[in-house]
């Protein structure tokens, strides 16, 4: 019964993560301002959580600076993520984000000096074919998917970097410092954004009342709560089960978008064919990874 409850909780978390792009489309302020408030509320929420659980905020200065810097990557990832949903739509944004695990399979061997596995390359090519299929028709949302793919690359990059941090520091403390780093990065970016990138030359830091509700859901439920729950579930569920379920995020997100915005999210058949190829490559990755790991272990055991 406990295992079933854990699986349900895991799928609820992934559903929340798939809902983030929809929240980004519902909030009226621009993407940079969304990330400003999301990171601010998230690091305050995480700070309260750490204090409540009696966790230490202490960390070596060098590690703290490195983690704060990684927060800048997270800020850029989220800004591009929400911008992609605005420039295009939620489905396009999540289709591009579905390439995240493929980028991870290429970046992780480079950072950890591991051998690139042939099936990872094949799955990467399948994902690229999916993107090619999407771009084969008169695609008016090309900038949206380009931003989403870059956002996915940044997500993979800071995830791989986080892998080295989690070996030395508490996961909650890492996220607390990363949220501070992300917020500070946005604060430093705001003058440049206002001068050169803001459509009307203004900063929109006064959300309407409904925006505050969506921002609180985004920061507290989809960020602080979902992350805390996922860390807790890692104690009982295998990494394989967690990774496989997390890969369903774009599936859940696109289904939710089609339900909530049926007219805006309706896309040509080529889009769904290309997205299907990307998602197949994403779902096949943990299955093949588990198969070949078992195979290599058996071979090593016979030596």
Sorted by sequence, the CB contacts under 8 Å of residue 227 that are 6+ apart come out as 175
pLDDT at position 233 is 79
Residues composing the chain: 303
pLDDT at position 34 is 97
Residue 141: strand, helix, or coil: coil
Asked whether the whole model's pTM tops 0.85, one would answer yes
Q: How many domains does the chain have?
A: 1
pLDDT tens-digit profile, the chain (303 residues): 577 788 888 889 989 988 999 999 999 999 999 999 999 999 999 999 888 888 888 888 999 999 999 999 999 999 999 999 999 889 889 888 888 877 877 787 888 777 777 777 787 778 778 878 877 755 678 899 899 999 999 988 988 888 788 778 887 888 899 999 999 999 999 999 999 999 899 999 999 999 999 999 999 999 888 877 876 776 677 655 676 677 778 888 888 888 888 888 777 788 888 888 888 887 787 778 777 777 665 545 444
pLDDT at position 302 is 47
pLDDT at position 203 is 95
pLDDT at position 22 is 93
Contact 295, 287 (CB under 8 A): no
Helix axis angle for 269-302 and 100-112, nearest 10°, is 40
237 phi, psi to nearest 5 deg: -105, 150
What is the domain range of residue 8?
2-302
List C-alpha distances in Å: 111 to 84, 106, 166, 177: 28, 9, 15, 22
Of the candidates 241, 234, 245, which has an alpha carbon nearest to the alpha carbon of residue 290? 241
Return the ∠ at Cα 84 (arms to 242 and 251), rounded to 5°: 35
Query: Does an H or E element contain 78, and which?
Result: helix 61-87
């Amino acid at each position: 019964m406990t295992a079933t409850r854990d699986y349900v909780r895991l799928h609820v978390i992934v559903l929340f993560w798939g809902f983030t792009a929809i929240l980004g489309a519902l909030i009226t302020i621009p993407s940079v301002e969304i990330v400003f408030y999301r990171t601010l509320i998230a690091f305050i929420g995480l700070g309260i959580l750490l204090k409540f659980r009696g966790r230490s905020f202490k960390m070596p200065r060098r590690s703290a600076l490195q983690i704060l810097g990684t927060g800048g990557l997270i800020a850029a990832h989220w800004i591009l993520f929400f911008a992609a949903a605005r420039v295009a739509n939620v489905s396009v944004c999540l289709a591009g984000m579905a390439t995240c695990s493929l980028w991870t399979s290429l970046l992780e061997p480079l950072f950890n000096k591991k051998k690139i596995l042939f099936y990872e390359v094949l799955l990467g090519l399948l994902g690229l074919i999916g993107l090619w299929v999407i771009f084969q028709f008169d695609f008016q949302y090309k900038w949206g998917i380009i931003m989403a793919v870059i956002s996915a690359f940044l997500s993979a990059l800071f995830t791989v970097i986080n892998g080295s941090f989690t070996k030395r520091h508490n996961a909650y403390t890492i996220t607390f410092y990363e949220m501070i780093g992300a917020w500070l990065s946005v604060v430093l970016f705001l003058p440049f954004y206002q001068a050169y990138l803001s459509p009307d030359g203004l900063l929109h830091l006064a959300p309407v009342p409904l925006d505050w509700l969506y921002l609180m859901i985004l920061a507290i439920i989809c960020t602080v709560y979902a992350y805390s729950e996922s860390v807790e579930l890692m104690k009982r569920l295998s990494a394989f089960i967690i990774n496989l379920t997390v890969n369903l995020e774009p599936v859940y997100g696109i289904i939710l978008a089609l339900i909530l915005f049926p007219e805006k999210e309706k896309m040509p058949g080529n889009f769904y064919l290309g997205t299907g190829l990307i998602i197949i490559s994403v779902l096949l990755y943990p299955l093949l990874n588990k198969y070949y790991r078992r195979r290599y272990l058996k071979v090593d055991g016979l030596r």
